[in-house]
Amino acid sequence: MLTKIARRLVEHNSSPPVEELKKAAVLLALSDADDPELLYTLRSSKMSSHGGEVSFPGGMYELEDESLEQTALRESYEETGLNSQDVRILGTLDTTVSRFNVSVTPYVGVVPVDTDLNSDSDEIDACFKVPLSFFLEDKRHRNDFIERGDESFFMPVYKYDSFIIWGLTAMITVNFLNLTLDAGIDLQGKGRG
């Protein structure tokens, strides 16, 4: 599965960051396993931005960062303790603009299955992993109706254990699955569950 993901990312010509907007980067960290797992965080409810929400490790670009890739790796380390030397970057997904007009570039990387993570950061309350096989079943908790400019669609919302994966995080997850694994997750409100 990881071989197919890596090949698709190499073949894909990702849309670049939107120059005139603030920039951020997130890391889709995949465990190196037969059924790879995606790493998510639960942001601290004390955070002024996105408190209590599920997200990928990541954050805003800072002037010290040499690149958005470094932003994703730095923020992942700050939030989860994930060491950048343990991450093999495979490529990027299309940049997505958040509802707060931030240009978010997702990086996809592979980490050892036994990587130590922590939830000691002030920014997060928990780290958790979700098997890709869970998403490929497309059993949705609900669908959120989204209108962006001239387009409207239904964004899947997934519940894994007690965690709700929705919004931009769900959108990036679905884009990743459709691009790299031909998941066929449609945005017309249907699901398999």
Residue pair 75/110 in contact (Cβ under 8 Å)? The answer is no
The alpha carbons of the chain give a radius of gyration, in whole angstroms, of 16
For residues 23 and 32, what is the distance between their CA atoms, to the nearest angstrom?
A: 29
User: H or E element: which one contains 154?
Assistant: strand 151-160
The pTM of the full predicted model, rounded to 2 decimals, is 0.92
Show the domains of the chain with their CATH numbers. 2-181 (3.90.79.10)
- Give tens-digit pLDDT for 24-62: 999 999 999 999 999 999 987 665 555 578 999 999 999
Task: Tell whether the model's pLDDT for residue 121 goes beyond 80.
Answer: no
The string over 26-42, giving b where at least 16 C-beta atoms fall within 10 Å of a residue's C-beta and e elsewhere, is: bbbbbbebeebbbbbbb
